[in-house]
Structure 1
Amino acid sequence: MSMRATFLGTGGAVPTTARAPSAFLVNRDGERLLFDCGEGTQRQMMRFGTGFGISHLFVTHLHGDHILGIPGLIQTLDFNERDDALAIHGPPGSKRHLEKLVHAGGYQPGFHVSVHETQPGNVAYRADDYEVRAFETEHRTSSVGYSLVEDDRPGRFNREKAEELGVPVGPAFGRLHTGEDVELEDGTVIKSEQVVGEPRPGRKVVYTGDTRPLDSTIEIARDADLLVHDATFTDEESERATKTAHSTAREAARVARDADVRRFALTHISARYAANPKPLLEQARGVYKGEVFVAEDGQKVEIPYPDSDDE
């Protein structure tokens, strides 16, 4: 099952010609989940070919560079004759404000839009085989981050062992692999655990939104396949980072290192680094030794399973 992340907007509060305000999209085998919706997000979706078919929008907080794209996106979806419902999720206290954005200028969408508040620690959305959880962040307003966590997958099926035990090739293999025991013609019962290994972890993608670095984020991001963390400033602006409740690249890298994530993206890049974001990357690499990059608008990242098994 494929999973691809697209960085639609990687800039800070002030957009630049190269970086739009915050927006991050995950396409999980055709289901599109959007995290934050800064100004012009619908144009970024067209520009980078993600498609408009999002089912859920997860808002981290109510600052303009994370939400002012909502009216335009809603109306663009409507102009494209959308029929499917859209669910918008936000932090505590956001429902009334998000509803006003949906209906900005008195607009009435031709499709159903529901708005939900999510407390840190709660599940914002539960699907058949994954969920999106809200977690605590520290910004200057009510805020949350989001973690997309897949359920464990069945362990590997040992076909050779199954054949040795007399299981006929065919549907019985599939039943055993999904946890069902199988009775052979001679009455022998083959238990699933005899031929199926330990469950294998699914994938995890963590998106913090704007935040100071927190120990709780380390626990949420533990072993994540991709951590997308606020890295607005370099060390030289650490005092400003603290004052504005953002993170420096080095602080974000400590979170990535301590959480032992597999891949780490720096985002929400201040306009002061528009000409040269390399200092951010250099400071992050001084702490985190894994795969790290400064996210760029339009960048697409494939997210494989932890064991590189794409089944």
Structure 2
Amino acid sequence: MSLRVTFLGTAGAIPTTERNPSAIFVAREGEQLLFDAGEGTQRQMMRFGTGFSISQLFVTHLHGDHVLGIPGLLQTMDFNDREDPLVIHTPRGTRRKLESLVYALDNRPSFPVRIAEVGDGDVAYRADEYEVRAFGTDHDARSVGYALVEDERKGRFDRERAEELGVPVGPKFSQLHEGQPVELEDGTVVEPEQVVGEPRSGRTVVYTGDTRPTTATIEVAEAPDLLVHDATFTEDRADRATKTAHSTARQAAEIASRANAKRLALTHVSSRYAGNVADHVAEARSVFEDAFVPDDGAELEIDHSDGE
């Protein structure tokens, strides 16, 4: 089952010729989600071929570099004769401001748009086999981050052991894998735990939006496969990061290490670094080896840790 992340915008507050403002696109087995929508997000979606069939838009906070792309995106969807509803999730206490932005041009989309407020600890969205959880972040605005957390998967079915126990090939295999005991012709009962291994973890992607380092990022999900973390500055501007409620690349790496993340994507890179992010990468990797700064348009396929 595929889980793909496309980095549509990785710039800080000011875009550059190489980086657009914040937007992260996630596709999971045919369903499409968008996290933040900075200015020009609709063009990035065209440029990198994601399409516009998102069902949910998750906003971390209402600073312009995270939301100014919403009106244009909705208008493009309208021009494309969209009929499916869209739900926009926004931090608690910001719904009215977001409504003002959505309808700023007095142009109501022809498709349903619902705005839902979320707070720390809320399940913003529940789908088949996964959910998106909101968690508190530390920025100079009402803000949340989001974690896409898949449900546990069934344990591996030991076919060889099942056959040794006399279970005939066929429907009884499925019953056992679904957690139901089966009775054999001789009256023997085979329990699921005899042939099914321990449940296996699903995949997890955590996106902070803009934030200072927080323990909530560590606690929202166990050992995320990908942590996408604010890394606006390098450590020589740590005071500036604290003052403006952002993080440095090193701080992001420390959070990734404490969270037992598998990979760390450093985003929201300040325009002061232009096209040179070598210091970000070196600084982060001195703490957490698998750290990188994605380019706009970079795609990352998230595989299961066991390869299945």
Q: Take 1:88 and 1:240, find their aligned partners in 2: how far apart are those partners?
A: 31
1:103 CA drift (Å) = 1.8
Letter in structure 1 aligned against 2:131: E
Q: Take 1:222 and 1:151, find their aligned partners in 2: how far apart are those partners?
A: 12
Letter in structure 1 aligned against 2:12: G
Q: Take 1:91 and 1:50, find their aligned partners in 2: how far apart are those partners?
A: 25
Instruction: Tell me which residue corresponds to 2:305.
Output: 306
Letter in structure 1 aligned against 2:305: P
Contact 1:7 1:23 (C-alpha < 8 Å) held by counterparts: yes
Instruction: Tell me which residue corresponds to 1:104.
Output: 104
Q: Take 1:184 and 1:55, find their aligned partners in 2: how far apart are those partners?
A: 46
Instruction: Tell me which residue corresponds to 1:73.
Output: 73
Q: Take 1:42 and 1:180, find their aligned partners in 2: how far apart are those partners?
A: 48
Q: Take 2:275 and 2:144, find their aligned partners in 1: how far apart are those partners?
A: 30
Q: Take 2:41 and 2:134, find their aligned partners in 1: how far apart are those partners?
A: 22
- Kindly report which structure 2 residues correspond to 1:104-143, keeping only aligned pairs within 5 A, or say none: 104-143=104-143
Contact 1:221 1:227 (C-alpha < 8 Å) held by counterparts: no
Q: Take 1:187 and 1:231, find their aligned partners in 2: how far apart are those partners?
A: 62
Length-normalised TM-score, structure 1: 0.97
Answer yes or no: is 1:292 the counterpart of 2:291: yes
Instruction: Tell me which residue corresponds to 1:4.
Output: 4
Q: Gaps spanning 5+ residues in structure 1: where?
A: none
1:72 CA drift (Å) = 0.7
Answer yes or no: is 1:38 the counterpart of 2:44: no
Q: Take 2:210 and 2:79, find their aligned partners in 1: how far apart are those partners?
A: 31
Q: Gaps spanning 5+ residues in structure 2: where?
A: none
Contact 1:120 1:135 (C-alpha < 8 Å) held by counterparts: yes
Q: What is the SS of the residue equivalent to 2:116?
A: strand
Q: What is the SS of the residue equivalent to 1:237?
A: helix
Q: What is the SS of the residue equivalent to 1:280?
A: helix
Letter in structure 2 aligned against 1:297: D
Q: Take 1:216 and 1:246, find their aligned partners in 2: how far apart are those partners?
A: 15
Q: Take 2:85 and 2:46, find their aligned partners in 1: how far apart are those partners?
A: 20
1:174 CA drift (Å) = 1.7
1:98 CA drift (Å) = 1.6
Deviates more, 1:169-178 or 1:41-50: 169-178
Contact 2:18 2:275 (C-alpha < 8 Å) held by counterparts: no
1:221 CA drift (Å) = 4.5
Q: Take 1:52 and 1:257, find their aligned partners in 2: how far apart are those partners?
A: 34
Cα RMSD of the aligned pairs, angstroms, is: 1.0
Letter in structure 2 aligned against 1:256: A
1:275 CA drift (Å) = 2.7
Instruction: Tell me which residue corresponds to 1:245.
Output: 245
1:74-121 Cα deviation digits (max 9, x unpaired): 111111111111111011111112222222211111111110000111
Q: What is the SS of the residue equivalent to 2:256?
A: helix
Instruction: Tell me which residue corresponds to 2:215.
Output: 215
Instruction: Tell me which residue corresponds to 1:228.
Output: 228
Q: Take 2:222 and 2:192, find their aligned partners in 1: how far apart are those partners?
A: 30
Instruction: Tell me which residue corresponds to 1:155.
Output: 155
Divergent runs of 4+, >4 A: none
Deviates more, 1:2-11 or 1:215-224: 215-224
1:154 CA drift (Å) = 0.4
- Kindly report which structure 2 residues correspond to 1:154-233, keeping only aligned pairs within 5 A, or say none: 154-233=154-233
1:191 CA drift (Å) = 1.6
Letter in structure 2 aligned against 1:54: I
Contact 1:8 1:22 (C-alpha < 8 Å) held by counterparts: yes
Contact 1:221 1:261 (C-alpha < 8 Å) held by counterparts: no
Instruction: Tell me which residue corresponds to 1:274.
Output: 274
Deviates more, 1:213-222 or 1:108-117: 213-222
Contact 1:228 1:267 (C-alpha < 8 Å) held by counterparts: yes
Contact 1:42 1:69 (C-alpha < 8 Å) held by counterparts: yes
Q: Take 1:85 and 1:65, find their aligned partners in 2: how far apart are those partners?
A: 24
Q: Take 2:28 and 2:162, find their aligned partners in 1: how far apart are those partners?
A: 32
Q: Take 1:62 and 1:129, find their aligned partners in 2: how far apart are those partners?
A: 29
1:268-299 Cα deviation digits (max 9, x unpaired): 0000111311111111111112x110021000
Q: Take 1:81 and 1:186, find their aligned partners in 2: how far apart are those partners?
A: 62
1:184 CA drift (Å) = 2.5
Give the count of matched residue pairs: 308
